[in-house]
Structure 1
Amino acid sequence: MASSAPRLARLGALLARQGAPATSLLSSQGLRAFSEKAGAETTAAAAAATASTGEAKSKIRGFQALLFGGLGAGFLYGYSLFTSQVPESGPLAGPPALLTSKPSTPGDYDAVRKSIAGVLDNGDYDDGSYGPVLVRLAWHASGTYAKKDGSGGSNGATMRFAPECEWGANAGLAVARKLLEPVKAAHPWISYADLWTLAGVVAIEEMGGPTIPWRAGRSDAPDGSKIVPDGRLPDAKQGAKHLRDVFGRMGFDDKDIVALSGAHTLGRCHTDRSGFSGPWTNAPTTFSNLYFQELLNNKWVVKKWDGPLQYEDAKSQSLMMLPSDLALLSDRTFKKYVTQYAKDEEAFFKDFAVAFSKLLELGVPFPAAKAA
């Protein structure tokens, strides 16, 4: 459950927008004054009732019931604001509040990093972290690039528009985009394209992964006219040839393919998104080489269920692999790198950092470096 501080911040913002003083519900002095005033008024009304007819007494009792009933309902409502989950829709819905003392200065990417790190942990989401879904957002925003014509890639942040935001491969990424809205509001000078890619970098680093080289310079497209055709992102149902086709289109080699596949050490699949279900490892919020160890050392059998073809470990039946994962074992060249990374985490971290940084920069028109 989220801490009370973000809830108080969200409540304060809501009251401010509605023109109501936040202290009306939060100040004990205000509550005491209101109660004393109400008590005085009730006493006066009761005195008048003594000298009046039975009908007047009935009216006074009705007033008292209305007064204290309203007070009780108000207190219950105020209490519910602090103790219940924020609804998915309605006046209190929205991204988590981001507490900042003042707006950041344009170009202060350290401030943006801190803001991103501040929204990662949430005990109510998946395994307790939004980190994996932010990595997926950065990946899918960048993985549409085609080296042949320079189309696609992270520049433009075109997933803000339909139909790209509605692609099956991007199902569930609205969670990540919504999560980053308060970060964008706190740092309005950063482009969505830079924010999404930086969020993936920060998530990896915060979850124990390598430092990823990242630089700013992406711009946002004004509309969806530059959206590329659907089908450029990897299909988990496919094998080695498909992986080489998809990653080769972007300019990656076999080592890059295996290194980038190592991002599956994070997160899990969801039946309402990809159709698949379950985590690849028992530590889905820690960036490590555990994915390669599980892939190489477990016996994988076909999962018996009503969903698409996927595999589960024969021993615990708690972990899963996709057809595209097992393709890394069936292909001799791919398996060579799987074996290397399973044994040498440092080598994996080094190669992943290079490949992921390259992925995030595909198609971005960075200014040419000045000659020394």
Structure 2
Amino acid sequence: MLNISHDKTNTKTFEMPGKCPFGGDRIGGVESTPPALSDWYPNRLKVELLHQNGPQANPLGEDFNYAEAFNTIDLEALKQEIKGFLTSSVEWWPSDYGNYGPQMIRMAWHSAGTYRIADGRGGAGEAMQRFAPIESWWDNGNVDKSRRLLWPIKQKYGSALSWADLIVLTGNCALEIMGFPTYGFAGGRQDAWEADNATYWGPEVVHDLSKAEAPDKMVNRDKRWRGQNGDADYDLENPLAASHQALIYVNPEGPYANGDPLGSARDIRTTFTRMAMNDEETVALIAGGHAFGKSHGMVPATEIGMPPEIAPMELMGLGWHNPKGSGNAENTMTNGIEGSWTPNPTQWDNDYLTNLFKFEWKQTKSPAGALQWTPVDENAPKTPDAHIPGQMNALMMMTTDIALKLDPEYRKVCEKFLNDFDAFTQAFSKAWYKLTHRDMGPRERYLGPEKRNEDDLLWQDPIPVADYAIIDAADVAALKQQIMGLGISPSDLVFTAFSAAVTHRHSDKRGGANGGRLALAPQKDWAVNRRTVPVIEALRTVQEKFNGQAAGGKQVSLADLIVLGGCAALEKAAADAGTPTEVPFTPGRRDTTQELTDIEMFTWLKPVADGFRNYLDAGFNEMAQGVAPEEMFLDKAHLLSLTAPEWTALVGGLRAMNANHDGSKHGVFTDREGVLTNDFFTVLTSTDLEWKKADAQGLTLTLNDRKTGETRFTATRADLVFGSNSHLRAVAEVYAGSDGHKRFVKAFVKAWDKVMMLDRYDVKA
């Protein structure tokens, strides 16, 4: 059986959702849940995470081309259909104010708002809002209704329109029908087809899933913060961005619902910075988003049903059943706070900031018992009820809104926007575009007539378009000879090429060799890249010579030369090992500039640990926060979208070439360094050798002869994991076999080319 709960029910109608009806689950008279593999072996490295969301899960098939399908859509006609729907209402989930726009803005925002800069995970790119755990987070209450309302449109356009694109586009349409000028929209997001079991969303465990627990119930359970709010060392665990478990950003009632605006401001700044937003963008997003719609808090959280993932089957994937009245409209419960920020919640205006600063606000509570704020002045403007004709209600602010008024830096931005509505409009427009497109990567991936290609937005990591002819096969052959004639060791060439490419993150499509940023700050100054500096200086001489002499307007970029150098070195190494091999090389990479490189944002790509190059940061023990180096290594392999065989082959080849960051001999299990042998695997799986810790933590180890005790080799945990982990060892044994050498070389070259091409969105879909 699948690993599901074995708590029994006493009825054949299966009234308890998520329960297994089968017996035999009592141990000593106590109900028990069968332990999962992770319960038996909590420290086991979960290599299987590399194989999630594979082609077997995709119902569209490997030959489906989403870009081609999307480009068949008449985008303007699609937008008109969406806008027509937005101003309608259905009985099973009526629209507030006769306009679904505000709730669709929330849906799009929450889809994109999971993005975090530390590892590039989250965001709207794969519509992960449809799956656990995100779909069932408290902060996504009733977002399931928004997506279900959109199903007729999704059904009509089928596979030509992904959920990921539809969600963002609907948010844009919602803004536009309420008078807001959006900055643009790009399609190109492709849906995932299964839940994400790999992303770390925090250390907390919600023990009672039978209730939709509100954020204020997370006191003493939330473990993601270090220190106490107000302390100098108060900080959020990396790579997390949300301030509390099951939230998109921060608790709207303040930290742990304590109603503290300044504490809330600190949480806001931490989380929005982790989500790649500066202070101005943060204020623009909050103030802009709160210009529309309302918050819902008419029923206590304890009376609301379970989230979608464990709701009763008959609800068909909809959660948070509300038992009060109709369960919606004027009885709606979402985050517990009740009311609107402005007198006209379906019109773009500056009333949010005007009201926030014009009036004094006092704490009160919603009908659901949540902390919120209302104007002290009883003559303050009212806001119409979303469903009851003629009823007027008091305005509402959240603790997070009051935070913008009291925090000195946020207040400056607010006052700027108060005095210049056009500047506010432009700032929100650009911030919304960034929010909803941040994880899409290079503009080559953008589709549709509304994509913005004319602006070099720094957060898009722009690379100038080539205004020259690209090198051809003859040029490549000549350049290889020149590079190999420089006197640079094959090891250094391989290390430099891999260092350029390994920064890539499949999560948000950032990093990689394209752009030549290895030669620019901050990457050129990272300790892990010091070995590349003299190589890049030498390659520049080849570039200058070729570009000065080439005919026909041809030019070669430094980015291409860096990769080509690694490929040429590997061809020599393979030939020296008796397995002559052509290493693929695709020219066309371009060089960017220092001015087009956001140093602060690229600093997030700096590794704390990089097992590929056997690197640990000098402050690893403090920064790792208890995470083992091999776990970080697995995470990096996942960010490179590698399979377990690809990961294993790459490391074996890099060790054969000695691509360690400092040239050390850790993991270089050969006396033929620089030759593409499978010695790494034959030594790793040898039964004549034994390993011993070389330091108290076991970060480095020695390999000793069992008979003589002689130390043969040294290694790190990033080396030994391929022999100690059962999944990885099974692969390593294939490459170590008597027939494994040629298979290893073929696998390594294929994996190498994959990594070199990960960021080449200019030549692939």
Mapping 1:26-37, distance limit 5 Å: none
Letter in 2 for 1:355: A
Tell me the secondary structure at the aligned position of residue 311 of structure 1: strand
Q: Any idea what the Cα deviations from partners look like across 1:208-242, whole Å, max 9, x if unmatched?
A: 01222211111101111266524443321231111
Q: Is 1:204 the equivalent of 2:175?
A: yes
- Paired with 1:304 and 1:362, the residues of 2 have a C-alpha distance of 36
| Mapped partners of 1:162, 1:221: distance in 2 | 12
The answer for unaligned runs of 5 or more in structure 2 is 1-68, 202-245, 255-263, 298-332, 381-392, 445-462, 468-765
Q: Which runs of 5+ in 1 are unaligned?
A: 1-102
| CA-CA distance at 1:351 after TM superposition | 0.2
1:104 CA drift (Å): 9.7
- Report the counterpart of residue 276 of structure 1 in structure 2: 337
d(CA) in 2 for partners of 1:216, 1:105 = 9
The Cα shift of 1:107 comes to 3.4
Letter in 2 for 1:215: A
Kindly indicate which of the two structures has a greater share of residues assigned to helix. Answer: 1
Report the CA distance between 1:108 and its aligned residue.
2.1
**Corresponding residue for residue 98 of structure 1:** none
Give the conservation status (yes or no) of the 8 Å contact 1:129–1:285.
yes
Secondary structure of the equivalent of 1:208?
Answer: coil
- Give the counterpart of 1:114 among 75, 80, 99: 80
- Alignment identity in percent? 34
Deviation at 1:344, TM superposition (A): 2.0
Partner of 2:372: 310
Structure 1 residue 268: deviation in Å? 0.5
Quick one: which of 317, 335, 350 aligns to 1:289?
A: 350
Give TM-score, length-normalised by structure 2: 0.34
Query: Does 2:258 match 1:233?
Result: no
Structure 2 CA distance for partners of 1:186 and 1:210, relative to 1, 3 Å = same
Report how far residue 111 of structure 1 moved: 2.0
What is the letter of the counterpart of residue 112 of structure 1? L
* Correspondence for 1:327 among 365, 385, 403: 403
SS in 2 for 1:310: strand
- Whether 1:214 aligns to 2:185 is yes
State the aligned residue count. Answer: 270
Contact 1:254 1:334 in 2 (8 A): yes
Cα distance change on mapping 1:371 and 1:119 into 2, 3 Å: farther
TM-score calculated relative to the size of structure 1: 0.69
Any idea what the Cα deviations from partners look like across 1:32-66, whole Å, max 9, x if unmatched?
A: xxxxxxxxxxxxxxxxxxxxxxxxxxxxxxxxxxx
CA–CA distance in structure 1, aligned partners of residues 152 and 199 of structure 2: 25
Larger RCO, structure (CA 8 Å, separation 6 or more): 1
Aligned CA distance change for structure 1 residues 259 and 305 (closer, same or farther; 3 Å): closer
Q: Conserved in 2, the CA contact under 8 Å of 1:106 and 1:190?
A: no
For 1:53, the equivalent position in structure 2 comes to none
Letter in structure 1 aligned against 2:113: G
For residue 111 of structure 1, what is the amino acid of its counterpart? A
C-alpha distance 217-328 of structure 1, shift in aligned 2 (>3 A) = same
* Match for residue 346 of structure 1 among 405, 418, 422: 422
1:256 aligns with 2:285: no
CA positional deviation for 1:366: 4.2
DSSP-derived class of the 2:73 partner: coil
CA distance in 2, matches of 1:128, 1:237: 28
Gap change, CA 1:154 and 1:323, over 3 Å in 2: same
3-state SS of paired residue (2:362): strand
What is the letter of the counterpart of residue 88 of structure 2? N
Q: 1:305 to 1:104 in 2, by over 3 A?
A: closer
CA distance in 2, matches of 1:255, 1:222: 36
Q: Alpha carbons of 1:305 and 1:182: their partners in 2 closer, same or farther (altered >3 Å)?
A: closer
**Contact 1:290 1:342 (C-alpha < 8 Å) held by counterparts:** no
CA contact (8 A) 1:171 1:273 kept: yes
Counterpart residue identity of residue 371, structure 1: A
Distance 2:189 2:88 in 1: 29
The reply to whether residue 265 of structure 1 matches residue 265 of structure 2 is no
Q: Structure 1 residue 113: deviation in Å?
A: 0.8
Per the TM alignment, residue 264 of structure 1 is displaced from its structure 2 partner at its CA by: 0.4
Q: Could you say what the CA RMSD is over the residues aligned between the two structures, in angstroms?
A: 2.0
By how many angstroms is 1:147 displaced?
A: 0.8
- Quote how far apart the aligned CAs of 1:179 are: 1.6
Superposition map of 1:124-135 within 5 A: 124-135=94-105
Match of 1:45 in 2: none
Change (3 A) 1:106 1:366: farther
CA contact (8 A) 1:158 1:227 kept: no
**Which residue pairs with 1:67 in the alignment?**
none
The answer to whether the Cα contact below 8 Å between 2:337 and 2:366 also exists between their aligned partners in 1 is no
- Deviation per CA, 1:301-349: give whole Å up to 9, x if none: 1125561211011224710000000000111111111122223221111
Helix, strand or coil: the match of 2:186?
coil
Q: 1:173-212 counterparts in 2 under 5 A?
A: 173-188=143-158, 189-212=160-183
